[in-house]
Amino acid sequence: MTERSDRVTLREGFALLGRGIVHEPLVFTIAILGSAVFGAATVFTSIVIGQVTDKVIVPAFQEGRPETGALVGAVAAIVGVGTLKAGGIVVRRFYAGVWMQRLQARYRRRVTRQYLRLPLSWHHRHPTGRLLSNANADVEASWWPMAPLPMAVGVLVMLVVAVISMLLADPVLAAIGLLVFPTILLINVFYQRRISPLATRAQALRAELSAVAHESFDGALVVKALGREADETNRFAEVADRLREANVRVGKVRGAFDPILEAMPNLGVLAVLLVGVARIDAGLLEPGTLVQIAYLLTIVAFPIRAIGWVLGELPRAVVGLRRVDAVLQATGALPYGNARPAPSEEPTELRVQRVSYAYEGADGTLSDVNIDVEPGRTVAVVGPTGSGKSTLASLLIRLVDPSTGAILVDGTDARDLAPGVLADNAALVFQQAFIFEDTVRDNVTLGRDIGDDDVWAALRLAQAEGFVAALPGGLDSMIGERGTTLSGGQRQRLALARALVGRPRLLVLDDATSAVDPDVEQRILAGLREAALPSTVVVVAYRRATIALADEVVYVENGRVAARGTHEELLVTSPGYLKLLTAYERDAAERAALAEDEEYAT
Amino acid sequence: MSTASTLGDGRSGGSWRTIRRGLALSPEIRQGLGITLGFALLATAGRLIIPIAVQQTIDRGLTGDSGIDLDFVRWMCLVALGAVIVTAWAAFMMNVRLFRASEAGLATLRTKAFRHVHDLSVLTQSTERRGSLVARVTTDVDTLSQFVQWGGILMIVSIGQLIVATVIMAVYSWQLTLLVWICFLPLFLLLRHFQRMVSAAYSVVRERVGIMLGAISESVVGAPAVRAYAIEKRTQDRIDQAVENHRSAAVRAQKLVAFTFSTGEVIAAIANSAVVVVGVLLGVAGDITLGRLLAFLFLVTLFVGPVQVGTEVLNEAQNAVAGWRRVLGVLDTSADVADPGPDGSALPRGPIDVRFEGVSYAYPAGPTVLHNVSVDIPPRSRIAVVGETGSGKTTFAKLLTRLMDPSSGRVLIDGVDLRDIRFDSLRDRVVMVPQEGFLFDDTLGSNIRYGRPGASDDEVKLALTELGLADWLDGLPAGLDTPVGQRGESLSAGERQLVALARAYLADPDLLVLDEATSAVDPATEVRLARALEGITRGRTAVTIAHRLSTAEAADEVLVFDAGRLVQRGAHRELVEQGGVYGRLHAAWINQSR
């Protein structure tokens, strides 16, 4: 990790809490009011118990007869304060939850808006797993401290009221309380400081373990094929053991502090009893007050922990929010113009003018590429693996912008077109077909207003009609993770249908049928040829039959257009093209020659 | 289909059965459990110190026979102080012993389960969703671990607290004890009901988390498709909807928890006021002392905690047991393609011959995909297997490498039934290269070395050179140290296949099976690779599955599959003359490639 994740200042923590309050002032206020009621009621409970002792219980014992009115009053006071406290807890807990959930939802929406707004070049620079965890785990961690925060504020109210009530009851015993409360608070803060890095480490190891398991199970076939099960198990066991150690370390700290925190109020009560009895002896104190203060110490001790919870969660939250903010503050967008050419049913004219494209130290760079495609023509882009063909395809429908040069669609620079215009007129089918978690119909229409007849027609053209019709729900079948799993070839055909159904005026196929059986591909290509689509077509391919569809071939090598012309011309003019296209033939010919030689020899 | 899981799903069998079986598989947890529970008892007894001290102070220190007795109070406080320290120490000991034992047991459990997943057959592995398999060795075990660290301890302490509080209360006054229990009993009985409601609410939350994550991932994984079709708004609407559904479910669950949590306070208030009223009446009648009555007010607070956290602890306990059951479910799934282990035969090195005797294969409760195949593959021969998608050629390869076992018939290698050969010997000599060249997130060198750990850099380079890939290696920025990224995604699909091939070659098997192992590389490279392979597979037996028929032209013999049957076999030229299925395939191939 390259971020400044280890140093988290308290100020940053408070800034985070402040942001949470600013976003939802009303919910925060309600939660805090509920918590204040809870805090005050907690202290009142002990006052009521003390008063009941002095005014009801002790007199009754001394006089040997109960006074009904006093008993009724005692019941009313105890139940009343108890109900008030319970009400405070309900409001506090519920609105604390509402607050946290609203903040999480708000930030998830904001982060994903950014994802959808930022250009693909930004996406390329950030690993998928990282972006997913930004929108999920990091957002969650950011607002986690909001759940105990109202309680912590309520506890502060409670402490103030407690100290005042103790001071009013007996200043000497109050001094014990003033000693015990801050001690518990300090131990809590110290505890959270100790445990927070250990817990973070355990969390990181859990993520690491999960990554190892994921990778190992993803590669299960390779592990099996090479018989590496034992090595993989050792790799996993090693991380599992480190996680065990980390968990034990967390447990040890918690296991030590919990009993100490529990013992503190008990020690306080013992001190109160010792000093209190002496003061009763001296005639300075009533027994009820002693009971009240002892009772207060026992019931206040536990809630004080809430302050520790908030402080303990803050560092993790701040780190999470930093990551989230990095996404929210990311700049850069694909700027759009406002050109809206008149709607047309005619194929587009496409010009690639002196286009170069480079991204940091990776394959697929292009330099000074010029291609003109007349409306309705089909151009094949051919080249060895890693020569920049896919980059070119992405440029054509403006998934990315060229570093220099321009792509002109019907004479307009693609960058000047208004948002959505290009998507309405052009479609790209990728080699890796992305399937949405949705029905077959919606995967084809993507929400566009298209009737079922047209969907079926597109599926037919993409040779997907058969398997879709065989699905139990037809067009309504859910596909994707939680639905039917499709094979690679089926996914490609569905993605093709998705493109065709919009009757694009520019169709770009990036090795879009690589996972489809050859004879099925033949049928798809034949269908495309006969369908009289209103399309200018750019097709990236290796296969001869696909290339045969094209009016013209552009041969790309190392990011440059090495040759262009018809297939027959290129076979003559471009040695690289010839070598690539005739690899199988030459291979077969050489073998045949070799076989004949052998026959002569024998 | 990804619908039904073949593993245990955590729904069947009672909780106690699960716990017993779980403990049997993690003996570390049980070790010294008696001592730990002893400490637990001591620790919970500590909760009584304060109520007893209050009672003693009032009854014997304040209102005893001799009036106020300061000396007694001093001694009593000193004893209580000692008790507080001892019980805190006991609690510490209990915690540490419990963490150590449970973590050790759970680490063993997850490692066992992890290994077992790899031992499951390819078929079982592929019917499970990756995520759910991973969850069984990670989050399911974590749920257990976290339960032990929080809920488990709380549960032990709470139950202990209720028992010791009840005992001391009964000593003080059975009437008031009964009264307190009458107040709290309905709530204890309702806890289970509350827990079910809360649990149902949280399972809705979990389900919606899944849907939300799916929706979010569309904006990341599907970014190019979203951009290409300009469906940003639609995608955002779907995400917003999923986020909102998750939020409302979480708030609903929160509401339930808030209400159940606070009922304890109301009940405690009712119990306290009842104790005051009845206690005063009893006190007037001389049945209870003032100190004992006041001690009751402290003892009632011991009931509140267990009630407040009861719902959440029960919920956690239920989740933990369900998680445990899912982990055990993995271990209970039989590895249907099992290693005969040390009893099995080991094969000596040398060229391998293969014999299929009347082999059929059908998926469990599914169609037969391979019918009665009998074939001999002599040592050192190079065999090409061709056919359309679904013709049975990949099934043939999986049976040949014992990734699956035949439903009937048998596969023999060097005359030995595959099922009788030890896996370490078999995997050493028979290696398959699958179509998807899976790479680990490491350097290029370590990925190739995965075929033979301990191979030196020079050996790895030599292997690449022999495969004709030296130029490719030289073109990479950091050579063998080039990181390949997650799943090898920094390399192209074709390059990943090159690495997978090199990895298998370095493993130096006697039978090499290639399942469309070069389908994603460009034609020129493929031809070059095929030639290199021909050279290096001389002396070995090689079976190649391909839909590019260039491979078949070079093979000694071609096996042609159609609809699960071996329909033709012979040399390429003979088969072309025969026509039939091969003739058709070959014609399509020529049409497509020339």
Residue pLDDT, tens place only, A247-296? 999 889 988 988 898 888 899 999 999 999 999 888 888 888 888 888 88
E strand intervals along B226-334: none
> Does residue A97 register a pLDDT over 90?
yes
Check CB contact under 8 Å for B244 and A129: no
What number of other Cβ atoms are within 10 A of residue A1's Cβ? Answer: 8
> Does residue B4 register a pLDDT over 50?
no
Contacts of B418 (CB under 8 A, 6+ apart): B402, B405, B410, B411, B412, B426
Three-state DSSP at B290 gives: helix
Report the distance separating Cα B373 and Cα B411, nearest Å. Answer: 10
Q: What is the pLDDT of residues B444-461, one digit of tens each?
A: 999 999 988 889 999 999
Structure tokens at A163: 């100290």
Structure tokens at B368: 């037969």
Report the distance separating Cα B15 and Cα A147, nearest Å. Answer: 32
Whether the Cβ atoms of residue B240 and residue B211 lie closer than 8 Å to each other: no
pTM of the model: 0.82
Report the distance separating Cα B69 and Cα A281, nearest Å. Answer: 9
What number of other Cβ atoms are within 10 A of residue B168's Cβ? Answer: 21
Report the distance separating Cα B130 and Cα B127, nearest Å. Answer: 9
List the one residue out of A85, A13, A3, A9 whose CA is nearest residue A43: A85
State the smallest CA–CA distance between residue A374 and chain B in angstroms.
22
State the smallest CA–CA distance between residue B194 and chain A in angstroms.
15
Give start and end residues of each alpha helix (H) in A219-304: 220-225, 229-281, 287-300
In angstroms, what CA-CA distances link B380 with A46, B538, B586? 91, 7, 25
Q: What pLDDT does residue A572 have?
A: 92
Across the interface, of A61, A66, A237, the residue whose CB is closest to B111 is A237
Report the distance separating Cα A368 and Cα A405, nearest Å. Answer: 8
Which residues of chain B from 34 to 93 reach within 8 Å of chain A, CB to CB? 43, 49-50, 53-54, 57-58, 61-62, 68, 70, 73-74, 77, 80-81, 84-85, 87-89, 91-92
In angstroms, what CA-CA distances link B151 with A18, B148, B157, B158? 32, 6, 10, 10
Check CB contact under 8 Å for A259 and B92: yes
Q: What pLDDT does residue A483 have?
A: 66
Q: What is the pLDDT of residues B477-532, one digit of tens each?
A: 788 998 888 778 778 777 888 899 899 889 888 999 998 887 777 777 788 778 77
Q: Which residues pair with A369 in a beta bridge?
A: A355
Three-state DSSP at B485 gives: coil
User: Residue A2 burial by CB count (10 A; 0-12/13-18/19+): exposed, middle or buried?
Assistant: exposed
**What are the backbone dihedrals phi and psi of residue A560, each rounded to the nearest 5 degrees, phi first?**
-125, 150
E strand intervals along A288-403: 350-357, 366-373, 378-382
A-chain residues near B438 (CB < 8 A): 218-219, 221-222
> Does residue B9 register a pLDDT over 60?
no
> Does residue A5 register a pLDDT over 60?
no
Amino acid at A173: L
DSSP single-letter state for residue A118: S
Report the distance separating Cα A191 and Cα B244, nearest Å. Answer: 36
Check CB contact under 8 Å for A267 and B297: no
Percent of all residues in chain A with a pLDDT value above 70, rounded to a whole number: 96
What ipTM does this complex have?
0.85
User: Three-state secondary structure along A502-571?
Assistant: CCCCEEEEECCCCCCCHHHHHHHHHHHHHCCCCCEEEEECCCHHHHHCCCEEEEEECCEEEEEECHHHHH
Higher-confidence residue of B413 and A298: namely B413
Q: What pLDDT does residue A3 have?
A: 40
A-chain residues near B7 (CB < 8 A): none
Question: What's the whole-number average pLDDT of chain A?
Answer: 87
Which single residue is written with the structure tokens 């289909």? Answer: B1
> Does residue A481 register a pLDDT over 60?
yes
Confidence tier at A566 by pLDDT (50, 70, 90): very high
List the one residue out of B139, B274, B158 whose CA is nearest residue B209: B139
Which single residue is written with the structure tokens 């010009």? Answer: A351
Report the distance separating Cα A363 and Cα B3, nearest Å. Answer: 39
State the smallest CA–CA distance between residue B521 and chain A in angstroms.
7
Whether the Cβ atoms of residue B580 and residue B567 lie closer than 8 Å to each other: yes
Q: What pLDDT does residue B7 have?
A: 63
Phi-psi region of A360 (alpha: psi -120 to 50; beta: other; left: phi over 0): beta
CA A589, chain centre distance (Å): 55
**What are the backbone dihedrals phi and psi of residue B562, each rounded to the nearest 5 degrees, phi first?**
-150, 125
Report the distance separating Cα A498 and Cα A553, nearest Å. Answer: 26
B-chain residues near A38 (CB < 8 A): none
Terminal C-alpha separation, chain A: 67
Confidence tier at B83 by pLDDT (50, 70, 90): very high
Check CB contact under 8 Å for A127 and B504: no
Q: What pLDDT does residue B10 have?
A: 46
Report the distance separating Cα B516 and Cα B506, nearest Å. Answer: 19
B-chain residues near A544 (CB < 8 A): 592-594
Confidence tier at A363 by pLDDT (50, 70, 90): low
Amino acid at B549: L
What number of other Cβ atoms are within 10 A of residue B452's Cβ? Answer: 18
Check CB contact under 8 Å for A104 and B222: no
